[in-house]
Chain A
Amino acid sequence: MKQPSKEMWVSAQDLRNDPELLAAANREFPETSIVEDLGKEGTMDRLESSRRDFLKFLGFSLGAATVAASCEIPVKKAIPYVIKPDSIVPGVASYYASAYVDGGDFLPVLVKTREGRPIKIEGNAISPMTGGGTSARAQASVLSLYDTNRLQSAGKVENGQVAAMSWDDLDKEVKASLTKGGAIRLLSRTVISPSAQAAIAAFSAKYPNTSWIQYDPISCSALLDAQEMSYGVRALPSYHFDAAEVIVSFDADFLGTWISPVEYARAYSTGRKVKNTKSVRMSRHYQVESFMSMTGSNADHRIMVKPSEQGAAIAALYNAVASANGAATINAPALNDKAKKAMTRVAADLMKAAGKGLVVCGVNNLAEQVLVAKINALLGNDGTTVTQNDNSFQRQGSDKNLTGLINEMNSGAVGTLIVLDGNPAFDHAQSEAFRKAMAKVGTRIACAGTLEETGALSTHVAPTTHLLESWGDAYPKKGQFYLIQPTIAPLFPVRQWELSLLVWAESAELDNTSDQPYYEFVKKNWERSVYPSQSGGKSFNSFWESSLHDGMLLVSSAPSAGSNSADVSSVASGLTRPSDGEEIQFFESINMGAGQFAGNPWLQELSDPITRCVWGNYLFVPIGWDGGNDYTFFKGLEDGDRVNLEINGISRTVTIVHQFGLMPGTYAIALGYGRQTVGKAGRDIGTNVQDFLTVNKNGYASSYAVAPVVSGKVGRDKEFACVQHHHTMGVTGADPKTGKTINVDEKTVATIGEGYQGSLVDRSIIFRGNLAELDQLEEKIHEKREEFQNLNDKTLYPSYDDVYAMGHHWGMHIDLNACIGCSACTVACMAENNVPVVGKKEVFRHHEMSWLRIDRYFYGELENPNVVYQPMMCQHCDNAPCENVCPVSATNHSSEGLNQMAYNRCIGTRYCANNCPYKVRRFNWLDYTTADLFPANEPRLNGEEMPFGADNLTRMVLNPDVTVRSRGVMEKCSFCVQRIQEGKLTAKREGRILRDGDVKSACMTACPTDAITFGDLNNKESQLNKDLESPLVYQVLEEVNTRPSVNYRARVLNRDESLES
């Protein structure tokens, strides 16, 4: 085991004390400034001006100002409703319960609307599934509603171009094709809506030659088939991560992307929080994988195997468990020694916690899934952590059915293909075969919101509504019915596909006289199939009203253990045999999914939790260690270099990034990028690696490939956008003069000598420890904080006790043990606070604007480090360094403890950002919001004609309570002051005291694991004050006496230190 030279590091460059990094970190912003750019293009010559020019400009501005001053003030209109709906009060937000559904991904949500337009997604806290948690994708879905690339009418497709046609004409042509003969095939991703299923049934009844195929872009086919084989039901079991003491995951990214990540993350975090340091109950999490997934980064132990070794690892675990339980063992493929040793420890741990262990597997291999189910059964986990009868329906697709469909299409038997949902021409392992087969189908109809690869290859497009414009329902889990209601009338003349099916089927159940025929259909369907299962004895109408209000109906569905009847030996031959050579893993990223979010700039600009890269997918290459504390870069490549990746004769040029925790001899790259037929925001962003995917010999889509060939450097990504080293506050390096380790961003101060505030080498950014030595950690924090207090007592700053003695004093607590890095908070913050999207080039220039970043630090072993995520935003310091240096007092302090930023006072000196030790202030370098008069100041995203957000459609997503900032002003986290003010005002209007929970910041409500608590420090009863009582609480950089209002709770792992990986 190699020990790192530093206790904690952010990257390989940091570890090596890379001189370039040190130099870069010392500057707030890199040298690629705008002026330099101008110089490159020769435009600086034109900008040079003489004294005469200066006088001319002066004269002109004076004249212009005079003319402007004499201008009439423009007449503004105030347009009221003609007939105001009772439920809408202009200026007051209304919330509607609905659900976020994307294929099988599901989240119960509340939609915040202002003046009838949805502007923000919140979690629905009464759902037992998620308890109000959200994901980055759900948060960003509201932006897709206002996508300028949405299809705006039905159309005929010729050569990939859409020619608009009326719905009547489309319906006529579709019906003609449906009655012409030839098989009719409906293709969709997983459909969890009972009413949509009823619509499909109605369609199939009218056209008996119809069959409906479901697929999942990221397939769970093998897991479903294994369930059928083991428990007789082709449905997913319920996993109870909260009840598990030992969690073993084979390549299942259950916190990030696997099946129902928000539900799992919520349950997982309850078993991971250190609530009481005196009696701790904390689960232990092993992750078996090749590259570091978001889930792996949260694990106590990562066991590195090659993608092809997963079967061997599972078999090893199975054999260990089986032999201890007296069950038959199987012939296991060979596994690398390290992993083999680790698996015996894992097995021992699991058996010790029999009945309280949980093994999950994300590998799409039937044999491996059957083995995993058997392991859970043998350990007695069935009925406790894995239950049947409360099954999840969030994945229903079948790889084999999809293959069957492609064969059928190729044979020419399919007359009409209707793609209801999904983008099968791009998003799965057989997309290339599917594209070719499409040509053999006469009529191809694509139902999608925007023109995608599938639509471009179709004959017709029947554009669908966005989720926020649709009626619908969802049945993600047995016993849990959810309703989807529209929060805005369709922006364009589009029709949801369920309704299109009913129209084409000329269904008798379709009430054509109704304004909203599909609403009537859903309602009738609920009356027929859901209403009988309720037990409240309500009339249907009051039942419907209350279900619609809550967004759900819960019916009890008792979980059961089930009985595993699989015969392991019969499938064992299907285990993957490890390959000898190099391998590459393809994975689903938290932001892009299978490519369906490519047109969403919020998600494009969201940094990957581990690599912290944005706007693209990057080939992860392993870092080779030379035995010492130095490392060798793969083929001498630097992050951001372009290489050729060749697999099976297909070659793609990709940008590389070095990655810790990546199994030597393996690579990894995210799926869903490099799309071509998509809005400009996503076109050609990243590399399309979809074609590298294959289907294995058992008919299951495989997520890895063997024998990839990676070339040497063939170029350089000139806009390599990785926020890893932007706004650093924790990078240390050797002082060139003394050789001592110092904080590079404080080098100049450090020369004064050690001991002074600001030049302390050992800075308190992260405190972390292991469960077994929790008391040591507690003591360390206590000691350190006492030392800091001693230093801080010698302050010259005044005391604030008097100021904060009454009213409110806002504060925050962030539990680093609960934070899983999912980034829901970051997107929620962008949506809530009108944070602009700046584009790849601007991110490359360190100009990203996000108010809340999630810093990722590595620690522990070099080859296989552990990770801690630290959400970092304005700390609202009482002794705020930014406030002292502002020459115009644009940033100052409020009596409620907020560090206030008055945009209109800011003159853009940026002194505050320079002086901020946390590096959380963001400057509007360009006119990101198109607020000023000069188009030259506006950045363009990916060659769009207009800057993102300049059009009136996209602007509908803006929060009207938050100022849109213009160029040249500084901005930063405001603790969601608009929510504070709103909460206070509501209390005042109701004449009551402000209660705990009345004010919640956007990041707090978005968090699926309740890692963030916001509240009033003056309210002694508040959850915040309870959280702060923990001895593990500390403040970042407390020693510099900024007195931040944000508190963190130390990261604790539950590692078995005797286990060497």
Chain B
Amino acid sequence: MVNKRLIISSLLSLVFLLTAFVSSAQVSVESGKQLFKANCAQCHNRNMKDNLTGPALGGISERWSGREELLYSWIRNTQSVIASGDPYAVDLYNTWNKVLMNPFPNLTDDEIGSILAYIDAVHNGTEGGNAAAAAGAVAVVEQPKTNYTLIYSVLAILLALIALILARIVGNLDHMNKVAAGDSEAPRPSIREILTSKSVIAFVIFALIVLGGYTTVNNAISFGRQQNYQPEQPIKFSHATHAGVNKIDCQYCHDGARRSKQSVIPSANTCMNCHKAIKKGSTYGTAELTKIFASVGYDPTTDTYIENYDQMATEDIEAIYKKWIADNYIADKELASLDAKGEKAVKDQWNNLVNSLTSEHDPKIGGPIEWNRIHNLPDHVYFNHSQHVTVGKLDCQQCHGKVQEMEVVKQYATLSMGWCINCHRQTEVKFMDNDYYKSYEKYHQELASGKREKVTVEDIGGTECQKCHY
């Protein structure tokens, strides 16, 4: 039965793969990606889920289904469609503050098809790292992984069944033997008797001890490790938006990484470099960004820093930021004054802000934002970012994962000693481009003579205790 499923899924994958391959002649996700990047990404969020300058595009095919022709002309020239009076188009135009989308008259049907295919692929989560990969390809890659365990457990069950059957056959043969020998009273072992026999119990106990020991040791080793730790942060800061969509360099904010032990969580004034201008978030509007203003004491309504902010009463602070939130709500909804829903929204946002910026020991709204620390090295480990970023020229992602795709950051690596050591064993030192390594003459000679292929971190003492523990 299982085999059947395996065969079916493999066949399905093949079909997907084939369709993807065939359709790529005219419409391909890959070319869609390129086109999207070139034409759309400035205004539309690449995760297809969140609004940016333009609306989130995920699910666009469903929204326009049956009216594809109109969608194509909408993409080529919005104004003409609005002028035609299509109610959906007019509504969309009004919700987005009557901002027109740039016209793209030169896009061919295939190109628009590609873009839509890409949007769908991203929205469905089938757009993989491999550019050519469509849904089928992903399925093929992932399936063996899950099936191994499945196969093993099936095998185990099968073997257990066979063992049981064999035990029964042996029991029966034994019984028959005894009957043939004249002992007609000889009992036939029941399944229950077989399962409760000494050897089976002994085996089960042995298996449990081995499994238990294995699990205990494994868990003990990983005790205190926090891989995949993904705490909620006081501000819903999205690395996907900043590093992914807007391609802000990691080290613009984490400016310690190149020169210090710590990568440094940016101070709020770093945020203000951009957010003096961008005062509303693409996803949460005023809800999250106001927290930064309240932290540094910036009044977004008047675009000024508030004087003597640290001595200000909470009520006055509340008035300033509630006004900002309310004003924006009114402007967004095009209302004359705040409605009941709006009042609730303002209250909710304010309460959320207070919760995020204050704590038991720090009841003040102003002052630093207390982020939850994700990467915690033990105190007896010395780690220096600049060694790895500036000297080793590693990408941040190598240890931190694809942060540019994380809405909420999580710990990607185990940060275990084994993980560090493995990397130190494998990683090649940028030996030739840094004059510091000139003192390792022997290695230079060996490299020159071809006796040595590369110099790893371990070769220059990178796995010795006091490189990290002192």
A989 in contact with B391 given A89-B264, A903-B469 (CB within 8 Å): yes
Q: 0/1 per residue, A889-927, Cβ < 8 Å to B?
A: 000101110101111110000000000000000000000
- Residues facing A in B244-276 (CB within 8 A) are 255-256, 259-262, 264-270
A81 in the interface, Cβ–Cβ < 8 Å? yes
Which residues of A have CB within 8 Å of B442?
A: 805-806
B69 in the interface, Cβ–Cβ < 8 Å? no
Q: Are B262 and A988 in contact (CB under 8 A)?
A: no
- Residues facing B in A149-177 (CB within 8 A) are none
**Min distance, Cβ B216 to any Cβ of chain A, angstroms:** 10
A993 in the interface, Cβ–Cβ < 8 Å? yes
A89 in contact with B256 given A78-B372, A894-B464, A963-B380 (CB within 8 Å): yes
Please name the residue on chain B nearest to A81 by beta carbon.
B267
Q: Are A981 and B467 in contact (CB under 8 A)?
A: yes
Q: Are A992 and B466 in contact (CB under 8 A)?
A: no
A981 in contact with B464 given A76-B376, A82-B367 (CB within 8 Å): no
Please name the residue on chain B nearest to A963 by beta carbon.
B380
Complex CA distance for A807 and B443, rounded to whole angstroms:
10
A92 in the interface, Cβ–Cβ < 8 Å? yes
Complex CA distance for A984 and B461, rounded to whole angstroms:
13
A79 in contact with B466 given A806-B440, A988-B434 (CB within 8 Å): no
Please name the residue on chain B nearest to A73 by beta carbon.
B226
Please name the residue on chain B nearest to A1018 by beta carbon.
B439
Q: Are B219 and A992 in contact (CB under 8 A)?
A: no
Which residues of A have CB within 8 Å of B438?
A: 993
A894 in contact with B470 given A84-B269, A91-B260 (CB within 8 Å): no
B64 in the interface, Cβ–Cβ < 8 Å? no
Complex CA distance for A896 and B462, rounded to whole angstroms:
11
B296 in the interface, Cβ–Cβ < 8 Å? yes
Complex CA distance for A136 and B229, rounded to whole angstroms:
47
**Min distance, Cβ B459 to any Cβ of chain A, angstroms:** 9
Which residues of B have CB within 8 Å of A796?
A: none
A80 in contact with B380 given A73-B224, A993-B436 (CB within 8 Å): no
B295 in the interface, Cβ–Cβ < 8 Å? yes
Which residues of A have CB within 8 Å of B464?
A: 892, 894-895, 900
**Min distance, Cβ A754 to any Cβ of chain B, angstroms:** 38
Please name the residue on chain B nearest to A805 by beta carbon.
B442
Greatest chain A CB density within 10 A among B269, B441, B469 is at B469
Say which one of B90-98, B317-325, B381-389 lies at the interface with A. Answer: B381-389
Q: 0/1 per residue, B212-242, Cβ < 8 Å to A?
A: 0000000110011010010100000000000
Partner of A808, one of B295, B439, B441, B469: B439
Q: Are A80 and B264 in contact (CB under 8 A)?
A: yes
Q: Are B461 and A962 in contact (CB under 8 A)?
A: no
A961 in contact with B382 given A78-B371, A91-B262, A805-B442 (CB within 8 Å): yes
Number of A-B contacts (CB under 8 A): 160
A902 in contact with B469 given A80-B369, A806-B439, A806-B441 (CB within 8 Å): yes
Which residues of A have CB within 8 Å of B266?
A: 80
B109 in the interface, Cβ–Cβ < 8 Å? no
B100 in the interface, Cβ–Cβ < 8 Å? no
- Residues facing B in A35-51 (CB within 8 A) are none
Q: Are A974 and B470 in contact (CB under 8 A)?
A: yes
Partner of A992, one of B368, B436, B460: B436
- Residues facing A in B124-180 (CB within 8 A) are none
B301 in the interface, Cβ–Cβ < 8 Å? no
Q: 0/1 per residue, B266-308, Cβ < 8 Å to A?
A: 1111100000000000000000000000011000000000000
Which residues of A have CB within 8 Å of B373?
A: 75-78
A69 in the interface, Cβ–Cβ < 8 Å? yes
- Residues facing B in A987-1033 (CB within 8 A) are 987-989, 991-994, 1018-1019
A978 in contact with B470 given A806-B443, A895-B464, A993-B439 (CB within 8 Å): yes
Q: Are A894 and B466 in contact (CB under 8 A)?
A: yes
Complex CA distance for A904 and B369, rounded to whole angstroms:
33
Complex CA distance for A988 and B430, rounded to whole angstroms:
11
Complex CA distance for A894 and B262, rounded to whole angstroms:
26
**Min distance, Cβ B128 to any Cβ of chain A, angstroms:** 33
Which residues of B have CB within 8 Å of A964?
A: 379
A80 in contact with B368 given A988-B436, A989-B386 (CB within 8 Å): yes
Which residues of A have CB within 8 Å of B256?
A: 89-92
Q: 0/1 per residue, B309-332, Cβ < 8 Å to A?
A: 000000000000000000000000
Complex CA distance for A896 and B469, rounded to whole angstroms:
15
Partner of A977, one of B229, B379, B470: B470
Q: 0/1 per residue, A792-810, Cβ < 8 Å to B?
A: 0000000000000111100
B435 in the interface, Cβ–Cβ < 8 Å? yes
Q: Are A977 and B466 in contact (CB under 8 A)?
A: yes
Q: Are A78 and B465 in contact (CB under 8 A)?
A: no
**What is the number of residues of chain A that contact chain B, defined by CB distance less than 8 Å?**
50
A92 in contact with B261 given A904-B380, A985-B386 (CB within 8 Å): yes
- Residues facing A in B379-427 (CB within 8 A) are 379-380, 382, 384-387, 390-391
**Min distance, Cβ B34 to any Cβ of chain A, angstroms:** 37
Which residues of B have CB within 8 Å of A978?
A: 382, 470
A83 in the interface, Cβ–Cβ < 8 Å? yes
Greatest chain A CB density within 10 A among B371, B380, B443 is at B380
Which residues of A have CB within 8 Å of B264?
A: 80, 89-91
Please name the residue on chain B nearest to A960 by beta carbon.
B261
Please name the residue on chain A nearest to B310 by beta carbon.
A82
Partner of A82, one of B259, B368, B386: B368
Complex CA distance for A77 and B267, rounded to whole angstroms:
14
Please name the residue on chain A nearest to B264 by beta carbon.
A90
- Residues facing B in A60-93 (CB within 8 A) are 69, 73, 75-84, 89-92
Which residues of B have CB within 8 Å of A989?
A: 259, 386, 390-391
Q: Are B269 and A89 in contact (CB under 8 A)?
A: no
Please name the residue on chain A nearest to B262 by beta carbon.
A91
Complex CA distance for A81 and B268, rounded to whole angstroms:
7
Please name the residue on chain B nearest to A1016 by beta carbon.
B439
**Min distance, Cβ A1015 to any Cβ of chain B, angstroms:** 13
Q: Are B436 and A987 in contact (CB under 8 A)?
A: yes
Which residues of A have CB within 8 Å of B86?
A: none
Which residues of B have CB within 8 Å of A905?
A: 465
Which residues of B have CB within 8 Å of A894?
A: 461, 464-467
Which residues of A have CB within 8 Å of B435?
A: 991-993
Which residues of B have CB within 8 Å of A81?
A: 267-269, 368
B110 in the interface, Cβ–Cβ < 8 Å? no
Which residues of A have CB within 8 Å of B339?
A: none
Greatest chain A CB density within 10 A among B295, B296, B368, B436 is at B436
Q: Are A79 and B370 in contact (CB under 8 A)?
A: yes
Partner of B372, one of A75, A83, A807: A75
Partner of B296, one of A83, A984, A992, A994: A83
**Min distance, Cβ B362 to any Cβ of chain A, angstroms:** 9
Please name the residue on chain B nearest to A802 by beta carbon.
B442
Complex CA distance for A977 and B466, rounded to whole angstroms:
7
Q: Are A76 and B436 in contact (CB under 8 A)?
A: no
Complex CA distance for A977 and B384, rounded to whole angstroms:
14
Complex CA distance for A981 and B386, rounded to whole angstroms:
12
Complex CA distance for A892 and B376, rounded to whole angstroms:
27
Which residues of B have CB within 8 Å of A895?
A: 460-461, 464
Greatest chain A CB density within 10 A among B267, B387, B460 is at B267
**Min distance, Cβ B311 to any Cβ of chain A, angstroms:** 14
Name 28 interchain pairs, CB-CB below 8 A, sorted by A.
A69-B219, A73-B376, A76-B373, A77-B372, A78-B370, A79-B368, A79-B371, A80-B264, A82-B269, A83-B267, A83-B268, A83-B296, A89-B264, A90-B264, A91-B385, A92-B256, A807-B439, A807-B440, A895-B464, A903-B469, A905-B465, A964-B379, A974-B470, A987-B436, A988-B391, A989-B390, A991-B433, A992-B435
Query: Considering the complex of A and B, which 9 residue pairs feature the smallest CB-CB distances, nearest first?
Result: A91-B261, A91-B260, A81-B267, A84-B267, A78-B373, A91-B262, A900-B466, A902-B465, A76-B373
Given contacts A807-B461, A977-B466, 4 further A-B contacts (CB under 8 A): A73-B226, A961-B261, A985-B391, A989-B391
